[in-house]
Structure formats: C-alpha cells, structure tokens
Structure 1
Amino acid sequence: MAEFTASVYQNEFLPDGGTDVNAIVTVQCTGAGSVGGAGGSTAGEVIIVDTSGSMGPQTMAAAKQAAQTAVGEIADGVWFAVIAGSDRAMLAYPQVSSGPGMVQANAQTRAEAQASISRFVGSGGTAMSTWLTLAMQLFGSIEGLTQRHAILLTDGENREDAGKLDLAIQQATGYFQCDCRGAGTGWQVEELRRISQALLGTVDIIPTPETMVEQFRQMMQTSMSRGVADAQLRVWAPQGAQVLFVRQVAPTVEDLTARRTTVNPLTGAYPTGAWSDESRDYHVAVRVAAKAIGQEQLAARVMIAIGDTVLAQGLVKATWSGDSSLTTRIDQQVAHYTGQTELAAMIQEGLAAKAAGDEATATTKLGRAVQLAAATGNDEATSKLRKVVDVDNEAEGTVRLKRTVDKADEMALDTASTKTTRIKK
C-alpha cells in the first residue's frame, strides 16, 4: 500500500496581536504502484481528439499518431474509449450504441482503437461541452471505476454559447481528471486552463506537430503510474479559527480554497486527485485569535487521507513572542512560494493587458514577473519571459515589450505560468 509523509515548514512565532499563520506542507507519496498493479479494472481512460475542420493535414496526422501512441501505453485491464470531437462528440471506439461505452485494454482492443483513430477526418466546428459530457457518460457506463482520467487535444477555440462549456465543466468537476493540450496557436489558453484547473489536470501548448507524440506518450505514462486513485488534503483548524486559503504551490500553482467540502465542523477536505510516487507542496494560511505573549496553540492539522483513512499529518503551530528576531523572520519556503504564486499572477495579468493593448500595465506586470522569476530561481519562467520582453535590469524588473513576438512563445509563457520551481538548497 502507498505510504504518505507530511512535513511542515513555517515560522511559528507571531508578534503581540498577531493572528495569521502561514505554512508550507510537503506531502510525499511512495509505493503508489501503477494503475495496472492497483487493479486495472477500476481505472478508466478517455482520449478526446479534436476532429473539427480547422485541423490541418499535418496537425491531424500528428494527432492520429499521438492518440495511437497514447492507446499503446494503456495498461492491460484498464477501461478506455476514444472520442472524436467536433461540433458534436462521437464515440470513435468502441463502436457501440448501448451498454458499456468502454472496453478493457488488451492487445486486440488497443489495435482496434488504433485502427479507428487512423480513419479520423477533419470536419465540422468545435463544441467542447459535448466532448466533456460524452466522456462523463462513458465513465459512468462502467460500474466501480475509482480512477477516471482523460486527455483532451484541440487546435481551436470553442464555438458554442459560453454557458454550455461552463456547465459541462461544472458537471465534470470532481468526477474525472483531464489533461488538456492545444496544438498550434489557434486555441485559447484561458479556455483550456479553465477545464484543466477544474478537473485537476495540466495544460500546455504543442507548438509543432513533431512534438505531439512524445507529449501524449508522457501524459499516458504519467496516468498509468498513478496507483493511488484519489486522495484528499484535510485541514483541521480550532474553534473560532478561519482557514484563509489552501493552495497547491508545487509542482504547479492551483488554488483549492473554493473546492472545500466539510468533513466535520472543524475540518475541511480539498481534492488532490490521483497520485504516483511524487511530492507536492501546499501553502496553508490560517487566522487564529491573538493570545498573550508566551502562549502557544495548534493552529492547524494538515492531513492526507484516502477515503476515511488518514495516512499522514503535519502540525502547524502558533507561538506568541515579544522577541522581534523570532517574529520578523520569514520562513524560506513560505517566502519562496509566495513569490511563485505572485509570479503566476503577474504573467497572466501582464499577457492579458498586452492583448488588450494596455502596454503600460503589461510592461509593469511582466517586469515584476521577470524580477520574481530571477529572485525565486525559476529559470524556465525567465527563459520564456525573455522571448516576450527585452530585459534591461533583471533585479529591478525593468523591461521593454518586444515589438515582434511569436504567438507560440507568448502562449508557451501563459501555459507555463503556473509551473513552479522548488527552493534551491
């Protein structure tokens, strides 16, 4: 069985009158196993490929090969299906009209699915709500699935009433996870990010067809390595305390605060999805009532649970002190991830301002992003920012917007904005 550990990094000392406690909790999972090893019959995979008319010959050829590669990585026994998505969703494989909408992977079913994918032809528009809805129906057709994961590829914008996609995302939230990829530059980052964030997945750009196969292979291999179907992060806070926010801050920034469900009056649960052998960091902030100098209390208990079983916990403490050398010290981990969270916001807000023609705001925001990326050692963000701005002074965040920017570079910066780097030891 998988083993979890939880480690807490914080400065527990608060000044006289202090109320807010911040901590970074690192959760480590080992011995997760794999999807097949954990019982493939309880896992399901759906591959969704955009087959609308905007898919050009090169992109379509790459998409077919990538989807076929992903099918080849599905472990024996895992239930799977393939959807061809346009202005309606079509079940490309298995070709059934009633009963279970998925089949279990074996050599024969993988080959049949790959043959079905080879016949994809681009036509029609793009209605992503229908793709997500069909995926839900397919997962729901198999009794006993505990792990549900989808891969979604598109090359264009959603062409339906905005409310339809919002509703489909809302209905799918908490039911299955979804990794989203955009091919080329004709799609909207914010659109796919809304899907991936709600469905605890990832979003990225595939700028050229040549890299599509490897991205699909990696996504499916990652999914197959997740032997823990679902885990919750639980936060207990004492009577009268307020949980200000709960954020995943590594490997990506994901705000989980609004995803809270009640376990009991003092404990909330936050979804984390499936796990492989990996480590994730969470920033938890709690507001407690101020106490007298010298007093201490437990500000929060952060737990990782599978079902009703708590497998690990970390304690967040508060101690009131009159020693300013203790109370003014900012924990390195907390400072680092506070910067990383701001970095993600500055990139997204800067690019939005640039798109709206507000060059002054874009320059300010992206300049701050350059400063934060350097300060927190996020080399990937620094590299991508330098393709969008000319940097005069990295430490001060003085930049100029480039006059000519490749759209793919701008979108790559946007999709990578939530990726974080851990503190350098």
Structure 2
Amino acid sequence: MTEPSSGVVAEVFQNEYLPEGATVVDAVVTVTAGAGGGGTVRAGAPAAEVIMIDCSGSMSGDRIVQARKAAAVAVDTLRDGVAFAVVAGSDWAQMVYPEQQVLAVADDRTRSAAKQAIRHLKAGGGTQIGTWLTLARELFLADRAEIRHAILLTDGRNGESERTFQAALDQCAGLFVCDSRGVGQNWSAAELIKVAEALLGTADGMKDPAGLEADFRSMIEAAMGKTVAGIALRLWTPAGARIRFVKQVHPEILDLTDRRTDVSARVGDYPTGAWGAESRDYHLSVELDPGTVGVLGEEKLAARVSVVRGDDVLAKGLVRAVWTDEEVKSTRLNKRVAHYTGAAELASAIQEGLAAREAGDTVTATARLGRAVRLATESGRSDTVQLLARVVEVQDARTGTVQLKRRSDNKDVDIDAEIAALGSRKTTRMRPS
C-alpha cells in the first residue's frame, strides 16, 4: 500500500493461514522507493563521504598500490558539492585529505589535491579499526549532510579488544552507513559483518587487490544514488505479542532486531539507512500471545507495518493471521518467506561453523558446515559449496555429510571460507507465483 505522494510502496507476502493454536506469524515485506517518481526520492540531497584506507604494515607492496588507485577512483566518482575526506588507518587514524580534521567539498580542485595526497599513502603499523571509525564519526558530526556514507578497507584483523571495537561501533550506529571491504588473506569476515550490521552497510572481500578499483567505483556510485536518510520500518503489534526478529533479507542479510527504538510499548522503529530508487525485502516474525489466538476462521491483525521518516508515514502494510483446521491452507508455504528463511539459515550455518573451527570445536564446526553444504546444494549455490570444500571434505552434498579438513598453512583455504561467509549474506529475490 502506498501513500500517494511519497513514491514508496510496501507489499506484504505471507501465508496468513495458521493451524489451530499456532502463535508464530511470518511475513516478508517488500519496500520499494521511487515508485512512480514520487516525492521521497529526489536529486541532490546534501551528502558526505569518508574513505578509510588500511595503511598497516601488511598493506605493503601491491596492496597499498592498488588501494591508492581505488581511493583515487572513489574520489573521482564523487559528484560536485559532496563533502569528503580520506583517512589513513593503522594504530591510529590520520587525515590524508584535507590535512585538517574537516571535510572538503568536492570540485575539480579538491579532487585533484586529494588524489595527489593519496599517492603518498605508505604502509606501516598495526590495525585499530575502532579509531578509524571514531575519526569518521567526528568528521560527520561536524557536517550537516543528510546522506552520510563511508568506505572501510582493511587487509587484516582488528587489533583492538572486542569491548573497544564494539564501543566504537555503538557510537557510530545511526550516524552514517559504512560499506566494509577485506582484501588479501588475513581479514576476518566476522569483523566485516559486525561493521555492516552495526552501520547498515555491505560487507565483501577479495584476495586479489586488482579488483579494488571497480569495487570502490561501484560503492561510490551506489552512495551517490542515495537521496534520503532517516527512513525506518515501524512495527505495531497487539498486546502480549513478541517480535522474534526483524531482518533485511534482500539484497543483503542484516539483522535489525536489536536496533529497535521504542516509540511506545507496542510500537518500535527499526532503522533502514539511506535510500535511493531501489527495493529491499524484510522478514518479520511475530509470536502472538497464546491467550489472544483466534477461533477457527477468525482473522486477527498480527502486525501493522509502516515505512516512516520522522512523523511522515510513507507506506503501510498489514500482517494478518487466520486460524484454520484445513491442512492444505495452513501448510502452504509462501515461497518468498521460505526462500529467505533458507538463505538466512545458510548464512548463520557458515558463520557459526567457521567460528567453531577457529575456536577448535571440531564437532560443532563439522555439524554446522555440513548443514551449510546441504543448504547451499539445495538452493543451487554451487559456488558456495566449492568454497566450503576448501575447509571440509564433502562426502555427500545432498545430506550435508562432511569431514573437517586439517588446518594447513595455506592461507588461501582460510580466506576462501571467509569469502563464502560474506557471499552467503547476498541474496537473490524470488517472487511468488
């Protein structure tokens, strides 16, 4: 359902029929902005960009050369008038351009000066990602841009304590969106995912730094296409209901459940980041109070979904529940809900399996990675199966029967698994027939 002047559409996909006594209701909400050229998507919203380049010692050689080229391409892709800065990250964060701790304004002169400064980037020191994000936060706070986007490139694992890293992420959450990238053979998918989920961005990785230029150009082009920020998914639920989770499931999986801001006891907002003309899918799961379950044939409202910006309601949708004793109705799976449920389970299985492998828990690692192989096989993701086969011996892909391989000194094996973890978070869309 669309508010006429907003240009935003919210569509709800679900099987509203539940078996007698059931309490869990699932739905996928597709939100599309820019529908019909409405007023929400507009050109030229004030924007700011901070490009953070890992300059730790391990970036020496071809990596720092390719990182310089990628950063220069990113600067060239900025449109005139965008506020921007380039930051070098190691044990601390240092301004590359401009030299002062402020944002420059993109034009021919400042882009040229920034690229000249980027040529002098050198590798040395360690990796303290939280300090890089903190400097980006300070730069954004000093600027009035509506669209705030950052790129974070690293080739290593964060050297900060978990507590310090999380504190930096918590301070940045809600202020800007950050796309994180890993390059080389030593970065951690778990850390990139943590940045993506906290800062509502994408996470990806590659072994070959030669791909950085194209990737940086793509990220900046996407950021320049964002035209409005501050849009949230607002959920109303009936008394006694519990929201099991709220996840963005397309184009990339992001768990928003813990990002809720209470509007009232029964209404909460979930941030969605900046938008341009695009479409995203969200999976909602609500558990109703058993005492409110309806009689057979009765329809009840399980949730009211709104797309909001401040006090403005841009679109609405309803999640319904109807109880039935007709097995054909209650067991019919909504294809989109089933599709994304499987995708989310695959991503979780890979991440949990790799974490267990890292911790030396071979039993859990074997079980979860075996489950991942089976799910990837069922969904036709042969590329993911091939990457997982670097860390497990696949005995029967259809049943997920695997044996964990012994760890070797071949870093390609480990980083292929990390790439599989990030790749499993990218989803394709399935429309119900």
Q: Secondary structure at the match of 1:333?
A: helix
Q: Secondary structure at the match of 2:325?
A: coil
Report deviation, 1:314: 1.5
The residue that corresponds to 2:419 in the other structure is: 412
Q: How does 1:313-332 map to 2 (within 5 A)?
A: 313-332=316-335
Q: Which amino acid aligns with 2:125?
A: G
Q: Secondary structure at the match of 2:57?
A: coil
Report deviation, 1:283: 1.0
Evaluate the alpha carbon distance shift between residue 386 and residue 215 of structure 1 in structure 2; reply closer, same or farther with a 3 A threshold: same
**Residue 80 of structure 1, aligned match among 61, 79, 84:** 84
Q: Conserved in 2, the CA contact under 8 Å of 1:36 and 1:78?
A: no
Q: Secondary structure at the match of 2:126?
A: coil
Q: Conserved in 2, the CA contact under 8 Å of 1:81 and 1:93?
A: yes
Partner Cα distance (2:59, 2:309) in 1: 41
Q: How does 1:275-424 map to 2 (within 5 A)?
A: 275-288=275-288, 289-402=292-405, 406-423=413-430
Q: How does 1:28-107 map to 2 (within 5 A)?
A: 28-30=32-34, 38-40=43-45, 42-96=46-100, 101-107=102-108
The residue that corresponds to 1:111 in the other structure is: 112
Q: Which amino acid aligns with 1:208?
A: D
Q: Which amino acid aligns with 1:91?
A: M
Evaluate the alpha carbon distance shift between residue 93 and residue 155 of structure 1 in structure 2; reply closer, same or farther with a 3 A threshold: same
Q: Which amino acid aligns with 1:180?
A: S
Evaluate the alpha carbon distance shift between residue 161 and residue 371 of structure 1 in structure 2; reply closer, same or farther with a 3 A threshold: closer
RMSD of Structure 2 on Structure 1 (CA): 2.2
Evaluate the alpha carbon distance shift between residue 232 and residue 378 of structure 1 in structure 2; reply closer, same or farther with a 3 A threshold: farther
Report deviation, 1:240: 2.8
Q: Conserved in 1, the CA contact under 8 Å of 2:16 and 2:322?
A: yes
CA deviation profile, 1:267-300 (whole Å, cap 9, x unmatched): 2110010122222111111122212112111111
CA deviation profile, 1:26-59 (whole Å, cap 9, x unmatched): 11222689x996335x211000111122211111
Q: Secondary structure at the match of 2:58?
A: coil
The residue that corresponds to 2:231 in the other structure is: 231
Partner Cα distance (1:369, 1:391) in 2: 11
Q: Secondary structure at the match of 2:234?
A: strand
Partner Cα distance (1:118, 1:298) in 2: 59
Report deviation, 1:230: 3.1
Q: Which amino acid aligns with 1:84?
A: A
Unaligned runs of 5+ in 2: none
CA deviation profile, 1:323-350 (whole Å, cap 9, x unmatched): 2221222222222211111111111111
Partner Cα distance (1:62, 1:167) in 2: 31
Partner Cα distance (1:17, 1:241) in 2: 15
Q: Conserved in 1, the CA contact under 8 Å of 2:34 and 2:278?
A: yes
Evaluate the alpha carbon distance shift between residue 38 and residue 276 of structure 1 in structure 2; reply closer, same or farther with a 3 A threshold: same
Q: Conserved in 2, the CA contact under 8 Å of 1:378 and 1:421?
A: no
The residue that corresponds to 1:176 in the other structure is: 176
Partner Cα distance (2:131, 2:368) in 1: 36
Q: Which amino acid aligns with 1:364?
A: A
CA deviation profile, 1:301-323 (whole Å, cap 9, x unmatched): 11212222111122111111122
Report deviation, 1:216: 0.9
Partner Cα distance (2:425, 2:123) in 1: 32
Partner Cα distance (1:281, 1:377) in 2: 21
Partner Cα distance (1:280, 1:228) in 2: 15
Q: Conserved in 1, the CA contact under 8 Å of 2:391 and 2:414?
A: no
Unaligned runs of 5+ in 1: none
CA deviation profile, 1:352-406 (whole Å, cap 9, x unmatched): 2223333343232122112212323445433433444343333222234455662
Report deviation, 1:162: 3.2
Partner Cα distance (1:222, 1:284) in 2: 26
Q: Conserved in 1, the CA contact under 8 Å of 2:149 and 2:178?
A: yes
Q: How does 1:87-236 map to 2 (within 5 A)?
A: 87-96=91-100, 101-142=102-143, 144-236=144-236
Q: How many residues get paired?
A: 419
Partner Cα distance (1:26, 1:9) in 2: 8
Evaluate the alpha carbon distance shift between residue 390 and residue 92 of structure 1 in structure 2; reply closer, same or farther with a 3 A threshold: same
Report deviation, 1:131: 0.8
Q: Which amino acid aligns with 1:233?
A: L
Q: Which amino acid aligns with 1:222?
A: A
Q: Secondary structure at the match of 1:238?
A: coil
Q: Secondary structure at the match of 1:166?
A: helix
Partner Cα distance (1:275, 1:294) in 2: 40
Evaluate the alpha carbon distance shift between residue 246 and residue 89 of structure 1 in structure 2; reply closer, same or farther with a 3 A threshold: same
Q: Secondary structure at the match of 1:338?
A: helix
